[in-house]
Amino acid sequence: MKLSLAPIPFYWSVDEIRAFYDEIARTPVDIVYLGETVCYKRRGLHLDDWIGIADMLAAQGKEVVLSSLVLVDGEAEGKATRRLCANGRYRIEANDMSAVSLSAGTPFIAGATLNIYNEHTLALIAEAGATRFVAPIELGSTALMALRTRAPALECEILAFGRPALAYSARCFTARNYDRGKDACERICLDHPEGLLVETQEDEAFLVLNGLQIHAATPLNYAAELDSLRHTHIDILRIMPEKTGTERLIDAFHGLLTGRHTREEVAAQLAPFTATGSANGYWRGQAGRLSCP
């Protein structure tokens, strides 16, 4: 079982992004996904810049994948997706069907936002050139086992730790919070490098606004589900980047997979990231926010 690092979901400065991946290059993560997936306006780094970071990570032995936008709804986004799919160097994580089409039979990874919930969809995506798929977060062990049994040829990746995106929109949630339109956002997301927390009236962490996406405030955490994940034949565990401490997350899961850390030690390492609790309900076929034991 391998470890992967998802694309950075939030809006960070160019210097912060470069420093982040310099640190990631020294970690034992196997696969790194790069690129802007949320909003086309977050383009401090251009494709050539991302490929430069990819080359640096590849030189350190990482498998590198370039991730496409989740929502392609305009000419500019279409052109960016076309350039990404034609990069000729690295495989693409297709997060929108336009990226699947533009890959034109070239091997790619099917992102979770392609909504692969059954073997018919998986077969269609595989026929288009997918060699790996990232399972939607709602798929639990029972459903995913059935899917793996019927279509075992593709690698299967699952989000194992991080605040999952729950909703997507062509409108910008963060800009709306400031009474701004999407086209007049003034890149306000830069002021919220970990997203904008939404709390309930009881002051409980609920959601995180992130531009065109809404995330759960409570991270998924499948560290306690390792035996079940292996039984389900999951090939890759995905970790979502955090503004600080991502290398500790990678170390915790790598130690868990290799037997270097006990589950108790891993739980202690993850504690700073689970102040709002953590969730494993989807995997167990129950409410998504079921607390981990």
pLDDT digits (tens, 9 = 90+) for 229-279: 999 999 999 999 999 999 999 999 999 999 999 989 999 999 999 887 888
CA–CA gap between residue 178 and residue 186 (Å, rounded) = 11
What pLDDT score was predicted for residue 25? 98
Residue type, 283: W
pLDDT at 290 (0 to 100): 56
Q: How far is CA 261 from the centre of its chain?
A: 24
What tokens does 254 get?
A: 């790598």
- What are the domain boundaries of the chain? 2-163+219-273
Q: Looking at residue 255, what is its pLDDT? A: 96
Nearest to 169 by CA among 39, 26, 21, 260: 39
Q: Is residue 13 within 8 Å of residue 44, measured between CB atoms? A: yes
Of 52, 70, 109, give the one whose Cα is nearest residue 210: 70
End-to-end C-alpha distance for the chain, whole angstroms: 23
Res 288: pLDDT = 63
**Domain 2-163+219-273 class, CATH top level:** alpha beta
Q: Which residues of the chain have pLDDT under 70?
A: 288-293
Q: CA-based Rg of the chain, rounded to a whole angstrom?
A: 18
